[in-house]
Structure 1
């Protein structure tokens, strides 16, 4: 510093980081003295959310899962960005954990002999701690 005296030192915190020590800090500097200050930081938790998919056999083709329309196992879904891939369980369900907040595109890999009854892909925006449920319906061709 140019001269002895009392100074207020402030850290400009970068995006994605948070302080773990007081900010600003006040320091008094005497002639010929060297003073060190420490500012602690840690990365903010990015947060997570879940995108859960239900894959169902849309028997009547109305785009909604009605009573008696069961889940379809072994269907492949991808989530972008992140290049996440998964396969539905015996109930036709799968969940993906994603960084949040964020906007994601969920895409079903359509199987031969089936046609879509709901939009594909579907875009969803998630917030930290949120679970968003999506439904994907398909109907067998010729049934």
Structure 2
């Protein structure tokens, strides 16, 4: 049985692993340069990494942008393909939104394929108070 460790220690992150996934596997934001991704990770309000307990290899990631008081945006959540199906995505989301300093915040996110995952963590379709200005890059 594979054991995973989650950590919100920013200095533990493997920026190479994050860049490799986001630039090749993620369907979102591939227009970002490596410098862009590193800036986003360094400037994040909070990050959570998922690591193999046996080796320390990073196999998952999530980051959040927040005002630190009542609002947060969840971004760049991923689990490497070889580690999916073990509940690690759920653990990453729970660690970020329920087990940290933003547990009582209003959280938002954008996803094209993981609605079911996020609904189990309390996310729902926006109501009539929500508006979004689409990304101009397409």
Give TM-score, length-normalised by structure 2. 0.25
Please identify the structure whose Cα radius of gyration is greater: 1
Which protein is richer in strand relative to its size?
1
Give TM-score, length-normalised by structure 1. 0.25
Which protein is richer in helix relative to its size?
2
Higher RCO (CA < 8 A, seq sep 6+)? 1
